[in-house]
């Protein structure tokens, strides 16, 4: 999985609790992304980062925040989890030019009860 | 706005037969096109991409894809399907031209190859 790890790999939590997912890369790539995958929707971009402390919103950013304090780590936080955020979350990285390939981590399955 | 469509939710093929997974796209400028495969409980794996040049792109595991600008299509093909090719396939597009636009993914096509 191209030097990308995600933690935790599985998490069950309750509505209203905060949740943080971590993505760690060893490739020193500039760009990092968070996607969610839901049946019938494919992958949808939540947030992305184009450098340390540089982040921007994606298509489905409501209810999510991100932080990137180091090149290798990109955190996704659900401040107050809701059942609609039950999903599989994928991190991806790329070197950053428009022709570059994005490489994906193994995913985190999050269930919000 | 960019968009990509995978018109078939599922494709069924017999082992040894050729397979095609369809993808059409819409962008304003030049398209950069990608195919990924996802096996159960795994992340997406990159198969191939079209940036420029030859319309026939060859990728991993014997897959290839043909870029057709007039039909705005980028169909994934393999001459002889294997049972192990059974997986979920995603097409993605990014608009070129220096915009650093994000990848837009299709909804995915489930490929089932029967022995």
Bigger pLDDT: A95 or A1? A95
β-strand partners of A65? A77
Burial (CB count <10 Å: 0-12, 13-18, 19+), residue B40: exposed
The reply to whether residue A98 touches residue B98, judged by beta carbons under 8 angstroms, is yes
β-strand partners of A91? A34
Residue A17 CA, chain-centre distance (Å), reads 18
- Chain B residue with the nearest C-alpha to that of A58: B102
Continuous segment of H or E residues that includes residue A47: strand A42-51
* In chain B, residues 46-85 whose CB comes closer than 8 Å to chain A: 46, 49, 51
Q: Can you give the pLDDT at residue B44?
A: 94
Please name the residues in contact with A96: beta carbons below 8 A apart, sequence gap of 6 or more.
A29, A30, A31, A50, B100
Q: Does B42 touch chain A (CB under 8 A)?
A: yes
pLDDT average, residue stretch A13-23: 97
- Matching residue, tokens 């019938």: A40
DSSP-based three-state secondary structure for B61 = helix
pLDDT above 60 for B99: no
Smallest Cβ–Cβ distance between B46 and the set A33, A99, A101 belongs to A101
| A34-90 per-position pLDDT tens digit | 999 998 888 999 999 999 999 999 999 999 999 999 999 999 999 999 999 999 999
DSSP-based three-state secondary structure for A83 = helix
Sign of the CA dihedral A100, A3, A21, B108? Answer: positive
- Chain B residue with the nearest C-alpha to that of A96: B100
Q: Can you give the pLDDT at residue A2?
A: 65
Question: Rounded to an integer, what distance in angstroms lies between the CA atom of residue A104 and that of residue B21?
Answer: 21
Question: Over the range A12-47, which residues count as b (16 or more CB within 10 Å of their CB) and which as e?
Answer: ebeeeeebebebbbeeebbbbbbbbbeeeebbbbbb
Q: Can you give the pLDDT at residue B84?
A: 96
pLDDT average, residue stretch A93-103: 87
pLDDT above 70 for B101: no
β-strand partners of B64? B58, B77
Report which of B86, B103, B114, B80 is spatially closest to residue B32, judged by C-alpha positions: B103
Q: Which long-range contacts (CB under 8 A, 24 or more apart) does B46-49 make?
A: B46/A101, B46/A102, B46/A103, B47/B76, B47/B89, B49/A99, B49/A101
Question: Rounded to an integer, what distance in angstroms lies between the CA atom of residue B112 and that of residue B11?
Answer: 6
The three-point CA angle B4-B10-B11 to 5° equals: 105
* Most distant CA pair in chain B, distance: 46
pLDDT average, residue stretch B67-91: 97
């Amino acid at each position: 999985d191209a030097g990308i790890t995600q933690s935790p790999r599985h998490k069950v939590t309750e509505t209203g609790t905060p949740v943080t997912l971590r993505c760690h890369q060893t490739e020193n790539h500039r760009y990092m992304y968070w996607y969610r995958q839901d049946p019938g929707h494919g992958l949808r971009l939540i947030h992305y980062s184009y450098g340390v402390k540089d982040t921007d919103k994606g298509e489905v950013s409501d209810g999510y925040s991100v932080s990137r304090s180091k090149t290798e780590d990109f955190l996704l936080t659900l401040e107050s989890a809701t059942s609609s955020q039950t999903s599989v979350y994928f991190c991806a990285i790329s070197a950053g030019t428009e022709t570059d390939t994005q490489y994906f981590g193994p995913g985190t399955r999050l269930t919000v009860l | 706005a960019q968009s990509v469509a995978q018109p078939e939710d599922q494709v069924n093929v017999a082992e040894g037969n050729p397979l095609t997974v369809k993808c059409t796209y819409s962008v304003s400028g030049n398209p950069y096109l990608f195919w990924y495969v996802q096996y159960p409980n795994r992340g997406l794996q990159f198969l191939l991409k079209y940036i420029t040049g030859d319309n026939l792109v060859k990728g991993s595991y014997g897959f290839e894809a043909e870029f057709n600008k007039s039909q705005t299509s980028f169909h994934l093909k393999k001459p002889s399907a294997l049972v192990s090719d059974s997986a979920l396939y995603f097409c993605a597009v990014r608009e070129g031209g220096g915009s650093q636009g994000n990848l837009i993914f299709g909804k995915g096509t489930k490929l089932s190859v029967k022995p």
